[in-house]
Amino acid sequence: MRRRVDETAASKRTEEKPVKSETVKVQARSSWWVWVKRGLIALCTLYVATPFVLRFFPGVIQYLVYKHAITYFVDLRRPSDLGLNHTVNMYLTSEAGVTLGVWHTVPEQKWKEAQGKSLEWYEQSLGDGSPVFIYLHGNTGNRAAPHRLGVANVLSALGYHAVVMDYRGFGDSTGEPTEDGLTTDALYLYHWVRARSKGSLVIIWGHSLGTGVATNTAVKVQEQGNPPDAVILEGAFTDIKMPEGFPHPFTWYYWRFPYIQYYFSQDSIKANKFVLPNVQNLKKMRTPLMILHSKDDHMTPFRMAEEIYSIAKSVLKSEEKVRLVAFDGSHGYLHNGLYRDPGLPNFIREFVQSVAK
């Protein structure tokens, strides 16, 4: 009897085991599946809701366009942490309440001399006769982004000064970004540099969204009677008024989605005053221009560079004053990576020499 009981108990136990593990498996699978479903629902909701949010709360576009809040977790006061040992960090006030973080990198051959030097030394070095580049960056992050460091390094190695600013609302600069604000900041920096550069060339280099700020600035200073010596546009876009299928150059992650154009209406863009009229500006500009663009640029397609090139050529009525440097798509530079091109220093040097003539 006792034995029997034991037997049944034992068999019960052996029976129980597989049942239990089965349940555990089923539970595991179902909780995994629940999370997948939740994820999918969240994605769908995001996809459906985002355009409506943009349509009805155009203020969100300000964040999307500038994405200025993204930081790189670096101490912007210490550019030497990033290998820029001949760079000074400084703050300029472009208008009341707006403090801008700026890095000034001197020509590389001065790196030893630059060790431990004061702000005044750097400021005075701007008048040493070497060309000065004002770099106006694109719409994400701050002046420490790798591709921005990359450009500063290329320019410095060529023996030029690189002055890289974070517009208002970017990096450690104060204030909120608007198109007018960005242009005000760039204009201020331009005049600040001009006041110290003596007879040196001052060249404005805009990248991505910064190309719009660059042409805005170039037109303004030209109207003030003191145009920049040259402008370089890297990864430039033509206009916010895009042809169909191309609502806004900085909504690239939505390009491939159906019917999305409707939501990025002109109204929302106008409400935020994102005009950045590169084409209109180019028609006024009389400064030598170099356009740098990678053929595999996924944010601002290469045809935009060709368009800019043909406009500038017809306006300047000169083949010499405007050049388009195309980088083969096989390098994979996309929108930000041109600074890696081994041929880039030569293109820049040649352009600077042509401007200096």
Residues noted as catalytic? 208, 297, 335
User: Which CB sits closer to ligand NAG, 86 or 168?
Assistant: 86
CB of 86 to ligand NAG, least distance (A): 6
Using CA atoms, how far apart are residues 239 and 307, in angstroms rounded to an integer?
11
User: Which CB sits closer to ligand NAG, 149 or 324?
Assistant: 149
Using CA atoms, how far apart are residues 197 and 130, in angstroms rounded to an integer?
9
CB of 80 to ligand NAG, least distance (A): 8
CB of 131 to ligand NAG, least distance (A): 18
Q: How many residues does the chain have?
A: 357
Judged by CB under 6 A, the number of residues near ligand NAG is 4
Residue of minimal Cβ distance to ligand NAG: 85
Q: Write each residue from 47 to 86 as x if it is in contact with ligand NAG (CB under 6 A), else as -, in one continuous string.
A: --------------------------------------xx
User: Which CB sits closer to ligand NAG, 85 or 178?
Assistant: 85
Residues 281-320 that bind ligand NAG (CB under 6 A): none
Q: CA of 109: how far to CAs of 86, 106, 162, 240, in Å?
A: 9, 8, 13, 41
CB of 114 to ligand NAG, least distance (A): 9
User: Which CB sits closer to ligand NAG, 155 or 324?
Assistant: 155
CB of 108 to ligand NAG, least distance (A): 5
Q: Are 313 and 286 in contact (CB under 8 A)?
A: no
User: Which CB sits closer to ligand NAG, 85 or 99?
Assistant: 85
Using CA atoms, how far apart are residues 64 and 66, in angstroms rounded to an integer?
6
Residues 81-110 that bind ligand NAG (CB under 6 A): 85-86, 108
The answer to whether residue 111 forms part of the interface with ligand NAG (CB under 6 A) is yes
> By the criterion CB under 6 A, which residues form the site for ligand NAG?
85-86, 108, 111
